Amino acid sequence: MAQTPPARPKIEYVIFDMDGLLIDSERVYTDVTNELLAPYGKEMTWDIKAGLMGKPERDAAAHLLSFFPDLPPEFTLEHYLRARRELQDARWPSVQPLPGALRLVQHLHRHRVPIALATGSQRRNFELKSSHLGALFGCFEGRVVCADDGLVRPGRGKPHPDIFLVAAERFLHRKVGSGEVGEDHISAEEEAERKKGLVFEDAIPGVQAAKRAGMNVVWVPDANLLSIGGDAAPTIETPDLQLKSLEEFVPEEWGLPPYDS
């Protein structure tokens, strides 16, 4: 007998992460970093990379270099960021969508489901990654929050909920308020509004941020992350659904319009 899908809340708006969820940019981060480390006999393995995903750029870079204390003195944080940026900039214009991303985003846009993008990428990097993918990113119609837009206070990136709340309030006009779910100043109306949102994420800090925002979250982790045992968010902040790919998402289970075919 087929299992009955679990009851899901009816979703009214959707917020997407970008890197590693909609586009295959995590592969570029990995390849470029290992190209820079290879002359020194070093490698960023997936057990190291797992701890970087979802972190702000400088925090992630500092965490990475902490694993290689014997790199030469000239291989500083600034050197790494500068060299990595040059190599990445040459590759972003060829990065491609991940399976299921284009279909889902275009489907929601076509059915007028409010959607926004909330990414830890800097605005310049977002532009480089997205400018050749108008069929995908054009669906957001400018409803994009980047890490350096000045809309999220420094130090309040994921796993803090701020970026998702800003995306919902500023771009989707949902009265969600501010602060983590459970804080006294959040009204019942704001809490109810948060529960109408669905977030798609690939990284654990993003899952944590969405749950702390009081929203529903679908986790689509990289298979490499699961292979090294990074298969669970903290138990009090577990995703509502885990998928291998966006291709597996069934919109009607969440009260969203079903795919046309």
Helix boundaries (H) for the chain: 25-37, 46-49, 57-65, 77-91, 101-110, 123-130, 134-137, 162-166, 188-194, 204-212, 223-227
CA distance 185 to 182: 9
CA distance 65 to 48: 10
197 and 116 Cβ atoms separated by less than 8 Å: no
CA distance 138 to 117: 11
For the question of residue 19 being annotated catalytic, the response is yes
DSSP three-state, residue 220: coil
CA distance 230 to 220: 12
Q: 10 Å Cβ neighbour count for 227?
A: 11
Catalytic-role residue among 17, 202, 222, 240:
17
Ordered DSSP codes for 58-74: HHHHHHHHTT-TTS-TT
Catalytic-role residue among 19, 162, 202, 222:
19
For the question of residue 184 being annotated catalytic, the response is no
Tokens of 54: 């979802």
Just list the catalytic residues. Answer: 17, 19
